Structure 1
Amino acid sequence: MQRLLAALLLLAVAGCNAASSGDSGAEADGKDGYRIAVIPKGTTHVFWKSVHAGAQKAAKELTAAGTPVEIQWRGPLLENNREKQIDIVGDFVAQGIDGIVLAPLDSTALIPSVRDAQDAGIPTVIFDSGLADESIIVSYVATDNYHGGVLAAQELGKRLNGEGNVILLRYNVGSESTEQREEGFLDTLEKELPNINILSSDQYSGTTIASAQEKALQLCNRFGDRLDGFFAVCEADTIGVLAALDNEGLAGKITFIGFDPSPLLIDAMRDKKIQGLVLQDPVAMGYLGVKTMVEHLQGKEVPKRIPTGESMATPENMDDPEIDKLLNPEKAD
């Protein structure tokens, strides 16, 4: 009996492997307003809490202006659960949601889901990470991730005086946003910094801090005596690499560039264990994703591509007002 109860409990937990909430300035039933599903890649990292804050802000502004908007926020807990995200999109399509604002975990695996939504008359705005088939989406709201990789390479090259040995730790196969960062980084090293040698650029961290730390430790053990610089392409990646560098006594001794902030990473940059963080504007992503969807539903023409900007934070400029705002963006409760 105890084994049966344990098995049932595990099934119940597995069935709840998503986070969901409804946010609005007022309830919208699709007649007097709009119900918009906002589906992030995951719900654990700080980045997504800021996207959520932006979506909430847009809903409140639109509702106050006379267009009631209800946000349905729901996503997988972890950013490696493609099946869960596919199921979430399908659930919202079955509910007859008015529009979907989606950060696809995989640039190809989510195409059938978005196409099913289109067939059901439900439009999709993509944010953060692209979809391979842009013909089935309304708009793409995101950082120029390729340029983010360019900024990382240029900052690394400047701090290394144009020469040295570096590692790129990739994120996860199928993640279009991080693939663009990786490509921008490598292209820039090849074109602008020919005297920088790449020790490794084919390893993937996986989607958790623990897996990133494990992979970074392996790379440090293999190349640590020759290592001058490191680039990690997202928040989980950056936190995992920082832990590995701390463990190996390399933090602050090599040049480390990461992507996206968190309180831990901000403190590490102040301590000069991190020399640069590429910053996005996740609040703007959530805000513009919802605003763009509502404008489309109202019959207005919207741009196919909406950039949200990218910046480089360093120990030297991190207290500048504009950089500080991106290092410490609003977060949903």
Structure 2
Amino acid sequence: MRNRMTAACLLACLLVAPAACRRAPVTADGRARLLIAVIPKGTTQEFWKGVHGGAARAGRELEVDILWQGPIREDDREEQIRLVDSVRTRGVSGIVLAPLDNKALRRPVSDATRAGIPVVIFDSGLDSQDYVSLIETDNYKGGHMAGEHLASLLGGKGPVIMLRLQEGSASTTQREQGFLDAVAAHPGITVVSSNQYAGPTSEGAYRASENLLAAFRANAGGVAGIFCPNESTTFGMLRALQNANLAGKIRLVGFDSSDKVLQGMRDGQVDGVVLQNPVAMGYLGVKTMVAHLRGEKIERKVDTGATLVTAQNIDQPDLRERLHPGQALEAR
């Protein structure tokens, strides 16, 4: 009779509640395996590939699963909001998010927090306190570094242009302000344009750059130097300078790298880029979240650092991962 009851219970378990009969995934030391959602601003640029590679590296080391989902375009706020809302229903343990907009993402982050899902913010700040840690570059400092470098290249004088990325992006807004404050310390430098936005794609940046170059080449003073605050604006401006036969004649300082931007530097057409550490952002974003979930002490804010790269230090071995962040993803 006892054997029959045991068999009946086992059959009921298999037919009625199969999920309850399976053990949840565990790590090698017996802890429940966590699922961490990582949601970047975009997925196509080298920067985000580096973030993905860093997150995957942390996942392997810490024995957690990574759910990588992000919008294709870096201006698709609605898609990023939808992704944050959707992962809340997928059983994630935590969310690691790079907000496209420092205000528009407040509501979905707040909803996740109220649902008991902690959020780590990275790359760009959020106009809210509903997160456990912020992992980012000191963007103001990076922009200031770029401004000082351009001012030095120009001998402290001449007309300059700054091409902005897009409204609502806290990271690039801080870089832009850092740049403006740096060049303002040099009375001989005049910022002739700082109110034009490129949008999130290199093609949009290229068109905006063409328009700026056409407008200021017609002026008597022309333009002596240019600052661009991210990868797509830097490459878009480089293309426009090349097509106008101005590459190498106008000083160009950018932010973040790609193979084409680095080739421009080797060719004497890009005078410097400020590099972040996207691989570290992805890695530390996941590592910080896992530490929080496991009850360990974490830092409220982590600076992943910024480095100025020029033709003089481009081949330093310790800069390779920052110069080619996408290779971290390829090496998974």
**Is 1:81 the counterpart of 2:71 in the alignment?**
no
Q: Check 1:295–1:320 CA distance in 2 against 1; reply closer, same or farther (3 A cut).
A: same
Conserved 8 A contact 2:321-2:328: no
- 2:111 & 2:91 partners in 1: Cα distance? 12
Give the TM-score normalised by structure 2.
0.88
Aligned residue runs from structure 1 range 88-107, under 5 A:
88-107=83-102
Q: Check 1:297–1:194 CA distance in 2 against 1; reply closer, same or farther (3 A cut).
A: same
Query: Which amino acid is the alignment partner of residue 193 of structure 1?
Result: H
Counterpart position of 1:57: 57
Counterpart position of 2:208: 215
CA offsets 1:96-118 (integer angstroms, 9 cap, x no match): 31000000000000000000000
Query: Offset of 1:323 from its aligned partner?
Result: 2.8
Query: Which amino acid is the alignment partner of residue 75 of structure 1?
Result: G
CA offsets 1:51-78 (integer angstroms, 9 cap, x no match): 0000011111112xxxxx0000000011
Query: Which amino acid is the alignment partner of residue 38 of structure 1?
Result: V
Counterpart position of 1:5: none
**Of 122, 125, 131, which aligns to 1:127?**
122
Deviates more, 1:168-177 or 1:218-227: 218-227
Conserved 8 A contact 1:147-1:184: yes
Aligned residue runs from structure 1 range 149-298, under 5 A:
149-190=143-184, 192-224=185-217, 226-298=222-294
What RMSD in Å do the two structures reach over aligned CA positions?
A: 1.6
Conserved 8 A contact 1:28-1:35: no
Query: Offset of 1:324 from its aligned partner?
Result: 3.3
- 1:115 & 1:293 partners in 2: Cα distance? 17
Query: Offset of 1:28 from its aligned partner?
Result: 6.1
CA offsets 1:138-191 (integer angstroms, 9 cap, x no match): 00001111011001001100100110110000001100000000010011111x
**Of 308, 312, 327, which aligns to 1:312?**
308
Deviates more, 1:259-268 or 1:321-330: 321-330
Query: Which amino acid is the alignment partner of residue 34 of structure 1?
Result: L
Conserved 8 A contact 1:213-1:241: yes
- 1:33 & 1:86 partners in 2: Cα distance? 26
Query: Which amino acid is the alignment partner of residue 100 of structure 2?
Result: L
- 1:28 & 1:130 partners in 2: Cα distance? 33
CA offsets 1:274-316 (integer angstroms, 9 cap, x no match): 0001100000000000000000001112111000000000011
Query: Offset of 1:31 from its aligned partner?
Result: 6.8
- 1:27 & 1:257 partners in 2: Cα distance? 48
- 1:242 & 1:230 partners in 2: Cα distance? 10
Counterpart position of 1:22: none
Query: Which amino acid is the alignment partner of residue 95 of structure 1?
Result: R
- 1:152 & 1:170 partners in 2: Cα distance? 14
- 2:278 & 2:57 partners in 1: Cα distance? 12
Q: Structure 2 unaligned runs (5+)?
A: 1-23
Conserved 8 A contact 2:25-2:32: no
**What's the % identity of the aligned pairs?**
48
Counterpart position of 2:20: none
Query: Offset of 1:27 from its aligned partner?
Result: 5.9
Conserved 8 A contact 2:46-2:324: no
Counterpart position of 1:6: none
Query: Offset of 1:224 from its aligned partner?
Result: 2.2
- 1:263 & 1:75 partners in 2: Cα distance? 23
Instruction: Report the count of equivalent residues.
Output: 301
Query: Which amino acid is the alignment partner of residue 110 of structure 1?
Result: L
**Of 134, 144, 162, which aligns to 1:140?**
134
SS of 2:308's partner is: strand
Q: Check 1:155–1:94 CA distance in 2 against 1; reply closer, same or farther (3 A cut).
A: same
Q: Check 1:318–1:261 CA distance in 2 against 1; reply closer, same or farther (3 A cut).
A: same
SS of 2:89's partner is: helix
SS of 2:70's partner is: strand
Q: Check 1:89–1:268 CA distance in 2 against 1; reply closer, same or farther (3 A cut).
A: same
Conserved 8 A contact 1:27-1:70: no
SS of 1:277's partner is: strand
SS of 2:329's partner is: coil
Counterpart position of 2:107: 112
Q: Check 1:28–1:162 CA distance in 2 against 1; reply closer, same or farther (3 A cut).
A: farther
- 1:28 & 1:195 partners in 2: Cα distance? 63
- 1:166 & 1:124 partners in 2: Cα distance? 39
- 2:316 & 2:43 partners in 1: Cα distance? 29
- 1:129 & 1:224 partners in 2: Cα distance? 34
